[in-house]
Copies of this chain bind each other. A is one copy, B any other.
């Protein structure tokens, strides 16, 4: 069973503080939006689908904290809270998608008493969580159909149970392959600067007793040159209409290297990751984070204090480098401008 990364419990959000893993598995309870905002901002809660769920549950916190019975005041306050939650991180579209779903529930039920709207908002947030759980299982099944016994697979960052409500996107494919009795070996990029591969993915894979080897991000090419990587599976934070995919920094690098070495490169993501309002990856806003994430590791300074840093949290992989996009609706192939729109319909 996957760990319960995020859920709703006794009127609060209960989540794992992922900044403490793998050293410590700590569950945190959160009953207010500023604390949730900070948890998302600092990557205590992270992974595009999990951020979406956090946003939806955050709207419930906001609705419950607003004590008015005036529907107008309630809706105005809710919109303010939604706007604030949306400001936590700019790239993963699942957050905006979930917030829009929540806002739409409030708007379309505005004729009802505020207490009823609150209940409907909770129901919707839990539905988003449940939908993600089901999407994970469906993606895993589709993805596992591409994995052969004996495959050696490379993954980057964390697209596992810690990024979703269930057992993940890219990692779900690996867990399902294992469950089906396919013997696989997995290489994990450590994924600097915040080391989600080393800290989170290695932890999840070892927990599921999958043969796991950790590498630094700059070692993947060398493995590919030796023919040691059969397939690459990664997650996604936002996918434009044409299939261009934003994901954790370093993903684009892997996709170019995969193409050079003839290694199939797969993206695994739920349909909620699609952003059909934008045409290409050029329109995806890329979050740039603080320099100390690069200058330090776990609080230790690793570079001259005064060195300038460039720290984009994501990069964009152009559609032509992606062999297929695996969603809960099926395995999508190029031309993505057609297959994405059809599956999102």
Which single member of B195, B206, B213, B307 contacts A202 (CB below 8 Å)?
B307
Assess the B300–A220 pair: CB atoms within 8 A: no
How distant is the Cα of A225 from the Cα of B282 in the complex, in angstroms? 11
Partner of A218, one of B225, B250, B260, B298: B250
Chain B residues lying within 8 Å of A299, measured Cβ to Cβ, are: 300
Q: Which residues of B contact A220 (CB under 8 A)?
A: 253
Once the chains are docked, how many angstroms separate the CA of A225 from the CA of B256? 10
Within the complex, what minimum Cβ distance (angstroms) separates A65 from chain B? 37
Q: Is the CB of B222 within 8 A of A304?
A: no
A211-250: CB near B (< 8 Å → 1, else 0) gives 1111111111111010000000000000000000000011
How many copies the complex holds: the figure is 2
* Residues from chain B with Cβ under 8 Å of A206 in the complex: 304, 306-307
Majority SS at the chain A contact face = mixed
Closest Cβ of chain B to A25, distance in Å, is: 12
Chain A, interface size category, equals: 35 or more
With known contacts A221-B252, A253-B220, A257-B253, A214–B315 Cβ distance under 8 A: no
The verdict on A23 contacting chain B, using a C-beta distance below 8 Å, is: yes
A295 at the interface (CB under 8 A from B): yes
Asked if residues B260 and A256 are in contact (CB atoms below 8 Å), the reply is yes
9 A-B residue pairings within 8 Å (CB atoms): A190-B192, A192-B217, A202-B304, A206-B306, A213-B310, A215-B310, A221-B315, A223-B310, A300-B300
A residues at B contact (CB < 8 Å): 22-23, 187, 189-193, 195, 198-199, 202-203, 206, 211-223, 225, 249-250, 252-253, 256-257, 259-260, 291, 294-295, 297-304, 306-312, 315-316
